[in-house]
Amino acid sequence: MTIKNKKKRIVIGLAIDETPNQQVLLLINRINYFIGKLLDFNVLIISSSPFFENKFKCPYISLNDDPSLFDFSRYNNILSAEPLKDTDVIFAFNDTLANGRKLNEGLYLFIFFGLVSLLYSRPGNYQIWAPVDSSQNCSWICPYFFIGNVGFLRTLNFIDWNLSKSLISKSDRRLMAKWTAVGWRRATKSTLHQKKIKYKTLLLERTLVGADDISKVVCKFSKLNILRMLNSIYLKII
């Protein structure tokens, strides 16, 4: 067996609790083949979902599930796992990506470009590749997926929603609470407890990376990104 001598490793972190779409399984297999085998990088899959055991020809680590803050607590659980190293590059995603609804050609290319860029990058380049949304006042990561250096991601706040709350204005918090109550697509089917958790994750999302730092450290899958435009066009065609 050939021993791979690359310092960096790809980690695929699955913060999901639903059965993934076949497109997502194909994406993982393609990452394992094209980047893992052809470019000679080790690939590790880590998840709390039993669905993925024995699904892929690469090492798999099973974690205890922590749904206390939905995907944020699962992301935190993955990033805190001891087998991960600061030099690893992680591609993590939640059920929004896992259902395949957003996964088309533009996003495929963004994911592969992000992984290759971070695996070969030098200090000072982008630390994260992720979707970014914005309002008139600020921008924020919308983490239904992200690709990043584990060492950098471990410095971010995925869990302390009280700290995030202290950094957001009262008027913005009111808007988040209102959106959770009536704007969230699962609002009519969610319990009051689930809505409270969703509100906490919105606080974390808004402050995950400071608005002033986003342009410096994040390669944005935003509405102005040509690959996101391509993704949207393909969605309309099909």
pLDDT tens digit string along 13-38? 999 988 888 989 999 999 999 999 89
Average pLDDT of the segment spanning 210-216? 85
**How far is it, in rounded angstroms, from Cα 86 to Cα 23?**
29
Strands (E), the chain: 10-15, 43-47, 60-62, 89-94, 128-134, 139-141, 145-149, 218-221
Name the average pLDDT for the chain. 89
Would the pLDDT of 4 be above 80? no
Residue the block writes with tokens 């990376």: 209
Average pLDDT of the segment spanning 172-188? 94
- 204 and 158 in contact (C-beta within 8 Å)? yes
Q: Which of 132, 114, 67, 60 is nearest to 94 (CA)?
A: 67
Domains of the chain from N-terminus onward: 10-157+210-237 (3.90.550), 159-207 (no CATH)
List all residues 6 or more positions away from 149 whose beta carbon is below 8 Å from its beta carbon. 86, 87, 88, 89, 90, 118, 127, 128
pLDDT at 19: 86
Residue pLDDT, tens place only, 83-141:
899 999 999 999 999 988 778 888 999 999 999 999 998 766 899 999 999 887 789 99
Would the pLDDT of 179 be above 80? yes
144's tokens = 């239904």
Average pLDDT of the segment spanning 208-236? 80
